Structures are given as structure tokens and as C-alpha cells.
Amino acid sequence: MRGCNGIIVREINSDQLVVTFNYKVDLVNKIRSIEGRNWDAKQKHWVLPNTPDCLVKLNDVFKDEGIEWVDINHIILSKECSGNIIEFAQKMRRQLTLNGFTQKTIKAYTGHVERFLKHADKKVEDLTAQDVEDYMYTLLNDQRNSHSYANQAVSALKILFTDVLKKENIVLRIPRPKKEKKLPEVLAEEEVIKVLNSLASEKHKAILFLIYSAGLRVSEVVRLKVNDIDSKRMLIHIRQAKGRKDRYTLLSHAALKALRKYALIEKPKDRLFPGGKEGEFLTERSVQKIFKKACSQAKITKEVSVHVLRHSFATHLLEGGTDLRYIQELLGHQSTKTTEIYTHVSKHNLNQIVSPLDRLFKD
């Protein structure tokens, strides 16, 4: 129920919360004690990070006033349990940093640990192998998550129990689901042309041209700097990508032409594709939106994400006769087994096979 001071906390997206209440000096002072809060003068409300830590803090500072929670997807746990989650999420971040993981992996693994601790809803020292098994069953059976998602959860929990909690006996009993063998979705060359031709913005063209022409991950294209483009050698320097590895990949002439058109308009200085805020890169979510809009305009009906351009790059190179080992280098795959999956979606070999039905009904 709404408290007497009308304090309402609403989730507006996965990153932000909005807090509104009738003006009172003591309430303003309380919300100012929360790290990351900002006052939106135009909308007349407070904006806060949508994190478990922030929810716990809100629950704590306004415990005497009462809060109306609206569209909140996080679980509001007891203060004791919430404190456990905050403490061990911080320990997990520290351990992952010491282990040398990237910020993206740290965020993903810490998220898995937070969700597990919420699900277990008990003191960390009381956690057992049964709690892990129950959680994994929930991920796979109740929530219908993919096996790759569940395997990532297992990897995160193994670090939690081995390095943070020092309970290696539990790690030995954590089940790891069998990997699913799924083939990547691929666009035909004609479909790629339609998508790229549907783009009106020179910036959007430069981004998607680079992704397809060089087989980039979306996380790689948004972090490119101007100096990473080597137009003399026609190479792109990818720095500290997945697995903290550097590599070089192709810079196509068509992509370079698109980049130069974009650069004449935007004049990027350091970051090739800067974000909305000073000193930030463009977000991966923004690139996904650009691609989704382009697919809609090109009337592509396949359910695909921007990562399909990377898959299409590899498949089209293979169909064009490029050696698999070179494709592995360009994509930055550690093992050839990862790259070999494109042999299963390439039409190069399949087109050499004649269906027996076509032989039976041949003119």
C-alpha cells in the first residue's frame, strides 16, 4: 500500500528506477543518501539505478514511510538476506577481477550469483549442494532457459563456491547440462544487401558495414577507436576482445568508403562511435535497435539479432572458398571446432548433392 507520504518506486526499464513523493526536506535528504540518484527537473522525479543494492537501500531509508512498488521485477528480500547478496556479490566482483575476467563477464557472473542467492533465500554459510541442484532445476525446467545460459550459471557458481566461499565439496556435485548443438542462423547474400541498403544514416551504415565485412561481435564494433582502423594495410585492430585477445581482421574497401562518409559528417576524434554521454562508447543495445529497424525496412522475417551478420560473414567466406583456418583467425576463435559449425550451414557442399526425388522426376 502507498505510504502516507505517497512514495512510489517504479521500474521504467532494466537499468533505471523512478521515485516520486510529495516534497519534504527530510525525504529529499534521505534519497540524497543513495548513491547514483539524480533529480530530473523536467520530469519532476528522482532517477536511480535499477539494481538489487539500490532496492535494498530504498527499502531501508524509507522503511518508516512505506513504499508503493510498481512493476518491480527484482525480489525484495529481508534485510538480512539482502545484505548477504550485496556482500557476496561484491566479493564475487573482486574475485572475478583478480581472476582477470572482462567487465562483461564480471557483470554476467555476478548476476548469476545474485539470482542464485535470491532463489536460495538463506544465509550463505548454510548453502548446500541441494540448493544448487534446486536452482539449476528451476533454470532448466521452470524457466526454460537454454543449456548455454545454465552452463554459464554453473561456471559462476563454481567460482563462488571454490574461490569465495571455499566450499569445494559442493563444486564437485554441481551438475552441468549437456551442451546443445544448435546451428547459427544465417542471412543469404541477397538478404544482407537488402538490410544494408535500407540504412539512411551514414553512421548506421558504417556500423553494420563493419560488422558484416569483418565478422565483428557487436561488443567489438562499439569499442573501436579511430586509430584501430588501418586504411594503409586495410586491417582493423580488435583490442582485448573475448578472452582478452587482440587480433586483426579485414577492412573492406566498401566499409572504408562508408566510414569516410560517416567521418566527414560526425568527425569522431577518439572513439569511432561515441555514445550519447561524453567519453562513452555507443551501447550494444543501440546497435541491436539499428539492426532490428533495418531488418524491418528490408522485410526480413527471420528472427535474428545483429550477431547474424557475423555468422553470415563466416558462412559466405566459406562458400566463397576461403580456408577454414583463415576464417578462424578472422573471427578470433580459439579452436577450429568453434569455426567448423559454419560447414553445417554452408550451401557450398549441399548444392553438389542431388535429391533422389529430382532424379526420379528429371524431365
- Which residues form the catalytic set? 217, 242, 307, 310, 333, 342
CA atoms within 13 A on the CB side of 60: 13
Burial degree of 184 (CB within 10 A; 0-12, 13-18, 19+): middle
CA distance 117 to 135: 9
Please give the radius of gyration of the chain, using alpha carbons only, rounded to the nearest integer: 25
CA distance 330 to 316: 13
For the record, the C-alpha cell of 201 comes out as 544514416
Sign of the dihedral defined by the CA atoms of residues 172, 173, 178, 179, in that order = negative
CA distance 128 to 138: 16
Alpha helices in 62-201 (DSSP H): 79-98, 103-120, 129-137, 147-159, 168-171, 189-197
Whether residue 235 contacts residue 250, with contact meaning beta carbons closer than 8 Å, is answered with yes
How big, in percent rounded to 5, are the helix, strand and coil portions of the chain?
Answer: 50, 10, 40
